[in-house]
Structure 1
Amino acid sequence: MNDIPSMPADAGPLVSVSRLSKHYGGERHLIGGQTPLLKAVNDVSFDIAAGETLGLVGESGSGKSTTGRVLLQLEAPTGGDILYKGENITGLSKTLLKPYRRDMQIIFQDPYASLNPRMTVGEFVAEPLDVHGLAGARSERQERVASLFSKVGLDPAFMKRYPHEFSGGQRQRVSIARAIALNPAFIVADEPITALDVSIQAQIVNLFQDLQDELGLAYLFIAHDLSMIRYLCHRVAVMLRGRIVEIGPCEAIFETPQHSYTRALLSAIPVPDPDVERNRRPLSFDVAANLPPEEAVLRPVGDRHFVLEG
């Protein structure tokens, strides 16, 4: 397999995840006993259309980042299917998966940790071009990297600098430049603004939106900041302990949330009014007492709006 199949305009979802699971532990020891089983991702299903942004929200430890990593098969799934442009890519070998790696990229939370401190940022952005044999002549390679820098709002003159010479927002722009270097159609953005100053977060979110408009990108956007999710995303999926408890259009989730956990999350969004904020009382939600039963399934409650019910 040298190329991934093209996708007709009237085709189905770009990405389709069906009953995806990732479990850790559960192994038996030779001397007896068994490690605890952790269902980090448990029976998760969703679709993402070309050019669409699906926001994935939930408390820390709910399985959001694991879902993104397993979707891209940076970790092998325990069960379920991952379809990309209609092709089942679950369990493909590294060789067969390589063309899909080119079309599916990830941006990590900590831009400094994801950058190689021994490489210039220009070399870092050019590396995917080298790996996939797209570098061409040295001058062509340099022109391509310079164009990527300009596209993400960085001066191409910075290409010879090292990561420690940049601010957090600039480093994340470098990571974004690397992610779009191969002209992907789908990007997992794993909490890409969490480690940034509040003043920089809006700039990066606007950059994501501009790139989507220009390049037709689809995103799985993982975040804690629900105000940013509302601004950027077309649909929202809410995760609780490895399961999606509610998924639907952005406005439906924010205006008419159906699950008590979703309502509790939304009630915790800060209000930019000191008087209102002082008197506001977020809803409480006891996770341990309200874990969804294994047999619970997503049921429709509106147009493309589903909630997990037992």
Structure 2
Amino acid sequence: MSDISLSPAAAAQSLVSVRNLSKLYGGEKRFLGGNAPILKAVNDVSFDIAPGETLGLVGESGSGKSTTGRILLQLEAPSGGDILFKGQNITGLSKSLLKPYRRDMQIIFQDPYASLNPRMTVGEFVAEPLDVHGLSGNRSERQDRVAGLFKKVSLDPSFMKRYPHEFSGGQRQRVNIARAIALDPAFIVADEPITALDVSIQAQIVNLFQDLRDELGLTYLFIAHDLSMIRYLCHRVAVMLRGRIVEIGPCEAIFANPQHPYTQALLSAIPVPDPDIERSRKPITFDVGTNLPSETAQLQPLGGGHFVLRS
């Protein structure tokens, strides 16, 4: 498969490079005989993410977005392919060899409450990665560092002694973000971090992601369903369908000139804030059953870093 990069220069200096990544489930022998069917959750996926870039990953539920993000951080083992981080192949590393990379690669999950330990204060929760990596210092230094992290995510440091059930959904996600940046990482996978939040809070969290990216020089893989948020936050967007990337390119190119029928259908489903236009609009339908990409299809360049999957 062709290398999918922001540019040739960016490819040479990419922070994260994914090559021919795949993840298969099933195939094990069943108790009553035969083998379970094989599901290709991720199928021959390749892309690069440049330092300081935000790549948006979109697609319907079950398209393989979250699985891709978890494999990048080695929370799940890939069935094939390679993951390079800062030029080093981290695929299949043992826990001990992977630990130094854990400081530089973090994840923020979708459910802000399930991500927290209800038996720990939020201050202890944010400080835990500092303790694991031996960076907490003495008690006073540890407390000051955690307080500084709370301020970065716009939480009052006096909240450090509270428990997760005492916070709103938006505040809990801010706690999770504080923990994710505690080790000064270079790369964060944000796995649908605003989906479980009220609409009124979602924009605040997205703005926080943007502010932290600019302040700390973070690089994101931002997984989401909300295409309007993707357009606002991301530099590039990759569209996934049944485990494959069907289109990838700069956000403005994808939104202005989508080439794959699935991308066109997704964009046509975005509501327009004008009742007259919305009533007359006809969303594009896409029949997944009859339009699945063939196994021989490859991402073809359209120019300007824009690629589309074609046979």
Tell me which interval the TM-score lies in, with the shorter structure as reference length. Answer: over 0.9
CA deviation vs aligned residue, 1:204-247 (integer Å, no higher than 9, x gap): 00000000000000000000000000000000000000000000
Amino acid at match of 2:212: L
Distance in 2 (alpha carbons) for counterparts of 1:289 and 1:89: 37
In structure 2, do the counterparts of structure 1 residues 179 and 144 end up closer, same or farther at CA, with 3 Å as the change threshold? same
Aligned-pair CA distance for 1:29: 3.6
| Residue 86 (structure 1) aligns with | 87
Q: Which moved more, 1:83-92 or 1:27-36?
A: 27-36
Aligned-pair CA distance for 1:115: 0.2
Q: Is 1:121 aligned to 2:126, yes or no?
A: no
CA contact (8 A) 2:11 2:48 kept: no
| Residue 104 (structure 2) aligns with | 103
Aligned-pair CA distance for 1:27: 1.7
Amino acid at match of 1:307: V
Distance in 2 (alpha carbons) for counterparts of 1:244 and 1:57: 10
Distance in 2 (alpha carbons) for counterparts of 1:217 and 1:146: 20
Amino acid at match of 2:134: G
Amino acid at match of 1:190: D
Can you give the 5+ residue segments of structure 2 that lack an aligned partner in the other structure? 1-9
Number of residue equivalences: 302
**What secondary structure sits across from 1:113 in the alignment?**
coil
Distance in 2 (alpha carbons) for counterparts of 1:277 and 1:109: 30
Can you give the 5+ residue segments of structure 1 that lack an aligned partner in the other structure? 1-8
Aligned-pair CA distance for 1:302: 1.7
Aligned-pair CA distance for 1:30: 6.3
Amino acid at match of 1:76: A
| Residue 239 (structure 1) aligns with | 240
Aligned-pair CA distance for 1:32: 2.3
> Where in structure 2 are the equivalents of 1:137-286 lying within 5 Å?
137-286=138-287
Amino acid at match of 2:62: G
Distance in 1 (alpha carbons) for counterparts of 2:56 and 2:17: 15
**What secondary structure sits across from 2:84 in the alignment?**
strand
Distance in 1 (alpha carbons) for counterparts of 2:166 and 2:229: 28
Q: Give TM-score scaled by structure 2 length.
A: 0.96
Distance in 2 (alpha carbons) for counterparts of 1:282 and 1:113: 35
CA deviation vs aligned residue, 1:146-205 (integer Å, no higher than 9, x gap): 000000000000000000000000000000000000000000000000000000000000
**What secondary structure sits across from 1:284 in the alignment?**
coil
- Percent identity between the aligned chains? 83
CA deviation vs aligned residue, 1:83-120 (integer Å, no higher than 9, x gap): 00000000000000001111000000000000000000
Cα RMSD over matched residues? Answer: 1.1
Q: Give TM-score scaled by structure 1 length.
A: 0.96
